[in-house]
């Protein structure tokens, strides 16, 4: 049976998976890589280590399968910036990760100069250090990159594609380009105006090619088997939207990963900017089909579980969070706002910080664990409420995935807060599935998006069970805690 290999290059590790025609994962391999924190608020990765993890996992999967894959698809952590020498293939600086906050003050300066309306109109984004543009500007100023024709700039997908093709292809897709704060999502090209504002050399940026379509073929130059088409690319959240078969306008998914990302397919027309939300490119198919998405970006959800484990020692492993949180009926009044790196949608406050309120002598580690899980549901409701207030963009069902989605407690809390059905698919690796589907579509493994959608299978469907009056009261208490966390680190 034919299969596609998806490379899922996430924030903490790389997974390569083989996916068959039914959408089943038939083999996988995973490698973590190092997280570097050179200063408070700074987060970096070694791009060579990311590539080494990619090469190792890809080689393992290919070595265990009887035949070559139809294609390779790539999905990746978004906004993270890599700079490298196109002649030597060597990174010129550590990759600056999407979580990094070093350009917060620069974003404030740009806002004071009146640049926000331009950024909103051209890119659908906001002025926040989350996005790639000010990261690239920082590298150009402080990274000693040079300005000659040897410089390549890109996100992680571009770095992997360049290595897979032996340096033959420097490209990205619109879903990743739309996260850089440099891409005009209406004109569908790099914005020379914004590149000039941020001193980014356009010639160093990758070509923008369709998310589904042959981008190149693998080369043995950097240690991978030759001759395999690389035919799909999408940023991780857009790939999850595709992998969840949210192919019609109005369909919505949430991924509970390191952060959480709510995306709603809004079709092929780019809307005006929506307060508190991002407009992003969902994908472009080989036949020219183009889709946009509204997005709410929540910076910390699963990362709060890691903090309970590694920072406080409240749990010994991430798997303990669900049973521990379910061991109590509620938080006993404790609310935890995980603003560790600021707050994303709909607040966009880089100066917010983590807050725990309502602690008493009766507070236990189980209450803290449950407060972390409840925070995931509350933050998602904040985003969905913003979508609703934007003009009737009602979520009728939420499809969920990501590591925390295995918790039935979280699904029930989410359904109760939203008042809608929450659906978990049978295959949880939806990000990788999206990359596989995009690559397989380009090479004819699936004949159409409708055939892709037919592979989606339900694992669990959860209906709301909590009285709306109580759900709204709980959410109001959450908002009071959010208010206390906002602008905490603003010394002015």
Nearest to 371 by CA among 350, 352, 353, 357: 357
Taking a C-beta distance cutoff of 8 angstroms, is the pair 293, 365 a contact?
Answer: no
CB neighbours of residue 217 within 10 Å: 18
Q: Return the CATH number of 3-244, one of 3.30.710.10, 3.30.420.40, 3.40.50.1820, 3.40.50.300.
A: 3.30.420.40
pLDDT digit string (tens) for 21-65? 999 999 999 999 999 999 988 999 999 999 999 999 999 999 998
**DSSP assignment of 57-106:** HHHHHHHHSSS--S-EEEEE-SS-EEEEETTT--BSSPEEPTT--TTHHH
468-485 and 365-389 helices cross at what angle (nearest 10)?
Answer: 100
Backbone angles phi, psi at 125, to 5 degrees: -105, -175
Please name every residue paired with 261 in a beta bridge, in sequence order, or none if there are none.
255, 297
Q: Which residues of 255-269 are buried (b: 16+ CB within 10 A; e: fewer)?
A: bbbbbbbbbbbbeee
**DSSP assignment of 396-428:** SEEEEESGGGG-HHHHHHHHHHHTSEEEEES--
pLDDT of residue 121: 92
Structural tokens at position 88? 């030597």
Which stretches of 90-238 are assigned E, i.e. beta strand? 95-96, 151-155, 171-172, 183-184, 189-190, 207-208, 212-217, 229-235
Cα–Cα distance, 23 to 433 (Å, whole number) = 7
Taking a C-beta distance cutoff of 8 angstroms, is the pair 216, 168 a contact?
Answer: yes
**DSSP assignment of 436-473:** HHHHHHHTTSSSSHHHHHTT--EEEEE---S-HHHHHH
pLDDT values of the chain reduced to their tens digit, one per residue, 492 residues:
789 999 999 988 999 999 999 999 999 999 999 999 999 889 999 999 999 999 999 999 999 988 899 999 999 999 999 999 999 999 999 999 998 989 999 999 999 999 999 999 999 999 989 899 999 999 999 877 766 789 999 999 999 999 999 999 999 999 999 999 999 999 999 999 999 999 999 999 999 999 999 999 999 888 889 999 999 999 999 999 999 999 988 899 999 988 899 999 988 988 888 888 899 999 999 998 999 999 998 988 888 998 999 888 989 988 899 999 999 999 999 999 999 988 988 998 988 999 999 999 999 999 999 999 999 999 999 998 888 777 567 888 999 998 889 999 999 999 999 999 999 999 888 999 999 999 999 999 999 999 999 999 999 999 999 999 999 999 999 999 999 999 888 765
Tell me the pTM: 0.89
Residue with tokens 């080689």: 59
pLDDT of residue 158: 97
Taking a C-beta distance cutoff of 8 angstroms, is the pair 256, 410 a contact?
Answer: yes
pLDDT of residue 147: 63
- HSE (CB half, 13 Å, CA atoms) of 137? 21
pLDDT of residue 297: 87
Query: For the chain, which residues make up each domain, given as ranges?
Result: 3-244
For residue 346, is the peptide bond before it cis, meaning its omega torsion is within 30 degrees of 0?
yes
Cα–Cα distance, 455 to 29 (Å, whole number) = 23
**DSSP assignment of 101-131:** -TTHHHHHHHHHTT-HHHHHHHHS--S-TTS
Please name every residue paired with 73 in a beta bridge, in sequence order, or none if there are none.
6, 232
């Amino acid at each position: 049976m034919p299969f596609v290999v998806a490379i899922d290059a996430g924030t903490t590790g790389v997974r390569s998976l083989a996916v068959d025609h039914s959408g089943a994962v038939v083999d996988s391999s995973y490698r973590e890589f190092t997280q570097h924190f050179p200063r408070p608020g700074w987060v970096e990765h070694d791009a060579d280590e990311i590539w080494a993890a990619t090469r190792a996992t890809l080689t393992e999967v290919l070595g265990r399968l009887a035949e070559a894959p139809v294609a390779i698809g790539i999905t990746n952590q978004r906004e993270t910036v890599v700079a490298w020498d196109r002649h030597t293939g060597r990174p010129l600086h550590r990759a600056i990760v999407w979580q990094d906050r070093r350009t917060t003050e620069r974003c404030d300066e740009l806002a004071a100069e009146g640049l926000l309306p331009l950024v909103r109109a051209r890119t659908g984004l906001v002025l926040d250090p989350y996005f790639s543009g000010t990261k690239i500007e920082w590298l150009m100023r402080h990274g000693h990159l040079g300005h000659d024709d040897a410089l390549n700039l890109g996100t992680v997908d571009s770095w992997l594609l360049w290595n897979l093709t032996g340096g033959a292809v420097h490209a990205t897709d619109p879903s990743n380009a739309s996260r850089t704060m440099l891409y005009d999502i209406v004109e569908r090209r790099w914005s020379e105006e914004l590149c000039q504002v941020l001193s980014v050399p356009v010639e160093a940026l990758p070509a923008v090619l369709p998310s589904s379509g042959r981008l190149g073929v693998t080369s043995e130059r950097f240690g991978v088997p030759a001759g395999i088409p690389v035919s799909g690319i999408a940023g991780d959240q857009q790939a999850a939207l595709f992998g969840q078969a949210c192919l019609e306008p109005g369909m919505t998914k949430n991924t509970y990963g390191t952060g959480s990302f709510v995306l709603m397919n809004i079709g092929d027309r780019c809307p005006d900017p929506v307060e508190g939300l991002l407009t992003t490119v969902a994908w472009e198919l080989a036949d020219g089909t183009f889709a946009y998405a509204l997005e709410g970006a929540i910076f910390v959800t699963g990362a709060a579980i890691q903090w309970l484990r590694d920072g406080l020692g409240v749990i010994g492993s991430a798997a303990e969070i669900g049973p521990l949180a379910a061991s109590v009926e509620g938080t006993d009044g404790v609310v935890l706002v995980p603003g560790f790196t600021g707050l994303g949608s709909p607040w966009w406050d880089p100066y917010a910080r983590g807050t725990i309120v309502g602690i008493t002598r009766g507070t236990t580690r189980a209450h803290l664990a449950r407060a972390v899980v409840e925070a995931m549901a509350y933050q998602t409701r904040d985003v969905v409420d913003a979508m609703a207030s934007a003009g009737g963009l009602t979520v009728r069902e939420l499809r969920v995935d990501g590591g925390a989605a295995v918790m039935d407690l979280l699904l029930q809390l989410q359904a109760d807060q939203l008042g809608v059905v929450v659906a978990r698919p049978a295959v949880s690796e939806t990000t990788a599935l999206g990359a596989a589907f995009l690559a397989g579509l380009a090479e004819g493994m699936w004949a159409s998006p409708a055939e892709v959608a037919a592979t989606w299978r339900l694992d669990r469907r959860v209906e709301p069970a909590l009285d709306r009056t109580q759900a709204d009261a709980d959410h109001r208490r959450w908002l009071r805690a959010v208010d206390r966390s906002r602008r905490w680190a603003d010394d002015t």
